[in-house]
């Protein structure tokens, strides 16, 4: 980011994104180049069944900034981010969705918030009062219900845990990830719960979101069910088992 002297690692998970993953990577490279900082883009193919891997490699062939991680079986977005983190060498870690609903230029806003509030993690939030969100009503409904549940169970200092743009300082994220068990649903929540539990500062920043998925996107009733189960599992590990206290 502008005026940042360290290195930034951007992790992009991808599953069956062959239609636009090449252009997404190219747009990310063009955008971050303008920031003028040292960076790398780690793209993780989460067991795609289409030509996602080939399209990622095509993008990587034009830039030595791109690292590619690939495995055969689809495990989940959380697992993809975990695998990407293993290859990250930056002082700051950025999670960025592959679909460009959230343009990478907004990373600068999250970085500015990190400096202003001396935060360890900054979460792009659809619920921030300054956010501009083009979002289907059914996704808004799910988001609102989930917010009430999260607020009740965990009392986190953020109002949105699932937006696909986040920035972390490396060491706090490393400590949080060492406690993570969830590989797919509610992965973001488990990271934030652990950061908060460890005493790190988390703040929210506004985003501009232009929703491009058709119909329900990739969230169906089965996903909602499993997210609920994983959320309750996090609560059980935090409040009952005290699992996260064990480090």
Flag whether pLDDT at 60 surpasses 90: yes
What is the pLDDT confidence band of residue 80, given thresholds at 50, 70 and 90? very high
Region 214-218: mean pLDDT is 43
What is the pLDDT confidence band of residue 214, given thresholds at 50, 70 and 90? very low
- Token pair for 190: 């488990």
Q: Is residue 2 part of a domain?
A: no
Cα angle for residues 182, 184, 187 (degrees, 5° grid): 55
pLDDT at 218: 56
Q: Is residue 86 part of a domain?
A: yes
pLDDT at 215: 36
Q: Is residue 29 part of a domain?
A: yes
Beta bridge partners of 92: 8, 169
pLDDT at 87: 98
CB 192 within 8 A of CB 202: yes
pLDDT at 140: 80
State the SS3 of 89-153: CCCEEEEECCCCCCCHHHHHHHHHHHHHHCCCEEEEECCCCCCEEECCHHHHHHHHHHHHHHHHH
Q: Is residue 1 part of a domain?
A: no
Name, in order, each residue with C-beta under 8 angstroms of 42's C-beta and a sequence gap of 6 or more. Answer: 9, 10, 11, 12, 66, 67, 68, 69, 84, 87, 88
Q: Is residue 26 part of a domain?
A: yes
- Higher-pLDDT residue of 86 and 210 is 86
pLDDT at 217: 46
Q: For residue 226, what is the domain's CATH number?
A: 3.90.550.10
pLDDT at 19: 95
Number of C-beta neighbours around residue 8 at 10 A = 22
Which H/E stretch holds residue 85? helix 77-86
pLDDT at 236: 97
Q: Is residue 234 part of a domain?
A: yes
The total number of residues written for the chain in this structure: 247
Count: domains in the chain: 1
pLDDT tens by residue, 5-45: 999 999 999 999 999 999 999 999 999 999 999 999 999 99
Distance in angstroms between the alpha carbons of the first and the last residue of the chain: 32
The dihedral formed by the CA atoms of 108, 112, 118 and 123, expressed in degrees to the nearest 10: -50
What is the pLDDT confidence band of residue 247, given thresholds at 50, 70 and 90? low
Flag whether pLDDT at 145 surpasses 70: yes
pLDDT tens by residue, 220-244: 678 889 999 999 999 999 999 999 9
- The sheet carrying 202-206 orders its strands as 66-71, 38-46, 7-14, 92-96, 165-169, 121-125, 202-206
pLDDT at 216: 36
- Higher-pLDDT residue of 61 and 135 is 61
pLDDT at 219: 60
Which domain does 221 fall in, by range?
Answer: 7-246
Flag whether pLDDT at 135 surpasses 90: no
Cα angle for residues 230, 234, 239 (degrees, 5° grid): 150
Region 178-182: mean pLDDT is 95
* 3 burial type by CB count under 10 A (0-12 exposed, 13-18 middle, 19+ buried): exposed
């Amino acid at each position: 980011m502008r005026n940042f002297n360290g290195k930034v690692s951007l992790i992009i998970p991808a599953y069956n994104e062959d239609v636009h993953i090449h252009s997404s990577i190219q747009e990310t490279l063009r955008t971050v180049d303008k920031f003028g900082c040292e960076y790398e883009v780690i793209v993780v193919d989460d067991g795609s069944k289409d030509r996602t891997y080939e399209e990622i490699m095509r993008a990587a062939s034009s830039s030595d900034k791109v690292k590619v991680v690939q495995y055969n079986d689809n495990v989940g977005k959380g697992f993809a981010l975990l695998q990407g983190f293993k290859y990250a060498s930056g002082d700051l870690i950025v999670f960025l969705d592959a679909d460009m609903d959230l343009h990478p230029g907004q990373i600068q806003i999250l970085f500015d918030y990190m400096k202003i509030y001396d935060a360890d993690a900054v979460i792009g939030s659809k619920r921030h009062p300054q956010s501009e969100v083009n979002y289907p009503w059914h996704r808004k409904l799910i988001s609102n219900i989930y917010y009430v549940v999260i607020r009740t169970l965990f009392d986190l200092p953020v109002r949105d845990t699932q937006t696909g743009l986040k920035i972390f300082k490396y060491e706090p994220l490393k400590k949080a990830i060492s406690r993570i068990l969830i590989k797919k649903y509610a992965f973001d929540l488990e990271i934030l719960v652990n950061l908060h539990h460890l005493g790190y500062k988390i703040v929210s920043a506004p985003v501009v979101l232009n929703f491009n998925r058709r119909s329900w996107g990739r969230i169906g009733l089965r996903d909602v069910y499993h997210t609920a189960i994983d959320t309750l599992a996090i609560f059980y590990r935090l409040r009952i088992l005290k699992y996260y206290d064990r480090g």
